[in-house]
Amino acid sequence: MPTHTTPARGPSRRAWLQRLGAVAGSGAVYAAMSALGLAQASPAEARFRLGPAPARGRRVLVLGAGVAGLVSALELLRAGYEVEILEYQDRIGGRCWTLRGGDHYTELGGAPQHCQFDRGQYFNPGPWRIPFHHHGVLDYCRQLGVRLEPFVQLNHNAYVHSPRVAGGRPQRLREVQADFRGDVAELLAKLVRQQPLDETLSTEDRERLVQALQQFGGLDREGRYRAGEAAADRRGFEPFPGMGVSAHPPEAQPQGLQALLRSGLWGQLDQGAGFEYQTPLFQPVGGMDRIAHALAQAVGQQRIRLRRRVSAIQQDARGVRVQVQDLSRPGQPEQTVQADWCICTLPLSVLSQLDVQCSAALHEAIEAVPYFSAFKAGLQFKRRFWEEDEAIFGGMSSTELPIRLIAYPNHELQGRKGVLLGAYAFGTQALEFTSLPPAERLREVLRMDSQIHPQAATEYESGMTVGWHRHPATLGCFGDWSRVARERHYPTLLKMDGRLILAGEHASLLPAWQEGAVLSARHAITQLHEKARAA
């Protein structure tokens, strides 16, 4: 029997991330890595170029006109390949999609929606922000002249909300954040002055740390966080000094640490903490689909065939044959489209249902990745009450309600009208929203939004909803890799299989991001190019 015991230790970061991956998938792991400072910037190189094609007339068929397909086609054309893109939908862009007035959308089940937004108003149901370190997407925006503007991720004047706290009254993020930081800083400052820290910090370093905590948390000269100038400088005054003239502006009373911990609102304070959400972020001027349209223009619209449904992919040593139905000509027999090589960017949720001639290992990899469900609602209002009444310009408010967040438009500030992202729900909550007809979804979203912004009920004009798990071309929002599936199948998914190779956000370490699609496309065409040159 041992004569001493080893102090219990918590799980290592690696073990914890592995457990998280097993439960929540790769997206959660990447978010956790970002929060821990372990995530890295995209390795995309500016001005990526393939070498010249090995011979004239080499033909590549690209399936899917989303970001991955368009990037693949553009770079292959630049290298000298002949390229054709087949796209199931009647538009390009895939999940890089913007809804504007006059657009129509019909989801699985046949529920139609008609967008009635005013001219200049829009809603991005898919990607809606670009981190500063997504070098591949930013590079194509620079090359193709896509104008960008700031995307506000974190707005200290927006709200955090729980129907269980303060009678359901939303609270300013800056107030809750200042109180939490101040209370924790006060607690740490008291601990620093205790003797056990003598073993690790000198007397001078302890005093320096106390000073740092005073500055960090807005503590007073006694090291306490309480109503006063230091705290008000962070959490704000009530009313704001700019709302009147007063010799002594009133200072709001901070919340106590116990009340904050019990409220759970501290869980909504990390909106800008993760690596993917740190400033600056960007958005294309006029809507996210400006990126897809710029790529399509560079590729050439004549090379993109819309409304083509693929049913089978066959290959042999000489080339690839794809069975295609032209949906613009109902009743016509399928056609066979041939090429030397094929890049397939179809979501695995769709590809797994097709007749694909490939190795058993690739079949297994395609079927191993489920897709995450997600729901967004865009609501147009008669006036920008969030700006006029509440001084919220861009950013987002978070809530424990199923809508999860309300995001405010970052463009045309102080305009007359605006479109809010009124809900962004995942998982079960997304499924619950889409179990309702579109009109009822909007009513439910508006009811919840009104708990944070009471003006919403009277100022609402029209809205659109998209549940990606009910989108016919994707059947899900993004590839939701588990840790086990990624270890077992991800290397196979990345490899050339005969004359076929896959690309898309699902074939990257950045699932759910356009940057993942760009990186995957460049990886796929590099392999294809090497194989073609070797042949």
Percent over 90 (pLDDT), the chain: 68
Alpha helix stretches (DSSP H) within 463-502: 483-494
Asked which of 24-38, 135-149, 256-270, 355-369 is least confident by mean pLDDT, the reply is 24-38
| Count of beta carbons in the 10 Å neighbourhood of residue 20 | 17
Q: Which of 48-62, 107-121, 277-291, 348-362 bottoms out in mean pLDDT, i.e. has the lowest?
A: 48-62
pLDDT at 231: 66
**Considering the chain, what percentage of its residues have pLDDT values greater than 70?**
87
> What integer is the mean pLDDT of 340-352?
98
CATH number for the region 99-158+278-285+372-470 comes to 3.90.660.10
Q: What is residue 244's predicted lDDT score, i.e. its pLDDT?
A: 52
Residue 9's pLDDT band (cuts 50, 70, 90): very low
CATH topology (fold) of 162-270: de novo design (two linked rop proteins) (1.20.1440)
Tokens of 509: 């370490």
For residue 420, the model assigns a pLDDT of 97
Q: What is the pLDDT of residues 211-259, one digit of tens each?
A: 777 777 778 877 777 777 766 666 666 655 555 555 555 566 777 777 7
Residue 204: partners with Cβ closer than 8 Å, 6 or more residues away:
none
Q: Per-residue pLDDT for 10 more than 50?
A: no
Q: 87-91: long-range contacts (C-beta < 8 A, 24 or more apart)? A: 87/304, 87/305, 87/306, 87/307, 87/308, 88/64, 88/307, 88/308, 88/309, 88/310, 88/327, 88/472, 88/473, 89/65, 89/306, 89/307, 89/473, 90/306, 90/307, 91/306
Mean pLDDT throughout 63-71? 98
Residue written as token pair 């840790």: 483
Task: Give the integer Cα–Cα distance in Å for 33 and 468.
Answer: 26
Q: How much is the pLDDT for 217?
A: 74
Please give the pLDDT value at position 275: 85
Task: Answer for the pair 508, 481: CB distance below 8 angstroms, yes or no.
Answer: no
Mean pLDDT, the chain, rounded, equals: 87
pTM, rounded to two decimals: 0.85
The residue-averaged pLDDT of 331-347 equals 96
Cite the residue boundaries of each domain of the chain with CATH code 3.50.50.60: 59-93+289-369+481-534
pLDDT tens across 173-195, in order? 988 888 878 878 788 788 777 76
Identify the pLDDT of residue 46: 74
As annotated, the residues of the chain forming the CATH 1.20.1440.240 domain(s) are: 162-270
- Is the pLDDT higher at 139 or at 231? 139
pLDDT score at 419: 98
The fold of 59-93+289-369+481-534 is FAD/NAD(P)-binding domain (3.50.50)
User: Which residues, 6 or more positions from 66, have their beta carbon under 8 angstroms from its beta carbon?
Assistant: 92, 93, 94, 95, 96, 292, 345, 504, 517
Residue 23 predicted with pLDDT over 60: no
Pinpoint the residues of the chain covered by CATH 3.90.660.10. Answer: 99-158+278-285+372-470
- Position 254 scores a pLDDT of 75
Residues in the chain: 535
CA–CA gap between residue 219 and residue 230 (Å, rounded) = 6
> What is the predicted pLDDT for the residue at 6?
37
Q: For position 457, what pLDDT does the model report?
A: 95
Q: Give the per-residue pLDDT at 47.
A: 77
Q: Measured between alpha carbons, how far is 231 from 254 in angstroms, rounded to an integer?
A: 8
